[in-house]
Amino acid sequence: MKSLEKGQGKLIGWRDPDEHRAWVAQHKSRALEDKRTSLKDAVEAFVEDGDVLACGGFGHIRVSMAAIYEIIRQEKRDLTLCGKTAVHDSDVLIGAGCVNRIEVAYAFGHELRGLSPASRRAAESGRCEVVAEISNAGYQWRFSAAAMGLSFIPARVMLGTDTLKKSSATVVEDPFTGKPVTLLPACYPNVVLMHVHRCDAYGNAQIDGITIEDFELARAARRLILTTERVIDNESIRETPQDTVIPYYLVDAVVEVPYGAHPTLMPDLYYFDEQHIGEWLRLSKTEAGVAEYLDRYVFGVDTFQGYLELIGGAEQLEYLRQVEHLEAPLQAPWLEEKRR
Partner 1 sequence: MTRKYTATELLASVAAGLLEDNSSVFVGTGLPMIASMLAQRTHAPNLLIIFEAGGIGPQVPVLPISVGDSRTFYRAVSASSMHDVMSASQAGYVDYGFLGAAQIDAYGNLNTTVIGAWDHPTVRFPGSGGANDVGSLCWRTIIVMRQDPRRFVEKLDFLTTPGYLDGPGAREAAGLPAGTGPYRVITQLGLFDFDEATKRMRLLAAHPGVSVRDIEEATSFELIVPDRVDTTEPPTDAALSAMRDIDPTGMVIGK
H or E segment to which residue 153 belongs = strand 152-155
Question: Dihedrals φ, ψ of 231, to 5°?
Answer: -95, 130
| Closer to partner 1 by Cβ: residue 25 or 326 | 326
Q: Does the protein bind partner 1 through residue 335 (CB under 8 A)?
A: yes
Q: DSSP secondary-structure letter at 11?
A: P
Choose the stretch contacting partner 1; rule: CB under 8 A; options: 42-50, 195-203, 210-218, 314-322: 210-218
Q: Is the four-CA dihedral 153, 227, 197, 134 of positive or negative sign?
A: negative
| Closer to partner 1 by Cβ: residue 21 or 156 | 156
Distance between CA atoms of 68 and 235, rounded to whole angstroms? 31
Q: What is the closest distance, in whole angstroms, from the C-beta atom of residue 229 to partner 1 in the complex?
A: 15
Residue choice 14, 188, 248, 271 for contact with partner 1 (CB under 8 A): 271
**Cα-based distances in Å from 229 to 163, 195, 276, 299:** 37, 8, 20, 23
Q: Does the protein bind partner 1 through residue 212 (CB under 8 A)?
A: yes
In sequence order, which residues have a C-beta less than 8 Å from that of residue 105 and are 6 or more positions away? 83, 84, 85, 86, 133, 134, 135, 136, 138, 139
Q: DSSP secondary-structure letter at 224?
A: E
Residue choice 64, 182, 190, 204 for contact with partner 1 (CB under 8 A): 182
Residues 48-77 that bind partner 1 (CB under 8 A): 57-61
Q: What is the closest distance, in whole angstroms, from the C-beta atom of residue 183 to partner 1 in the complex?
A: 11
Q: What is the closest distance, in whole angstroms, from the C-beta atom of residue 295 to partner 1 in the complex?
A: 27
- Total Cβ atoms within 10 A of residue 103: 30
Q: Does the protein bind partner 1 through residue 175 (CB under 8 A)?
A: no
Q: In the stretch 76-115, what mask flags binding to partner 1 with x, by CB under 8 A?
A: -------x-x------------------xxxxxx-xxx-x
Q: How many residues bind partner 1 (CB under 8 A)?
A: 69
Please work out, in degrees rounded to the nearest 5, the angle formed at the alpha carbon of residue 168 by the alpha carbons of 250 and 93: 60
Q: Does the protein bind partner 1 through residue 156 (CB under 8 A)?
A: yes
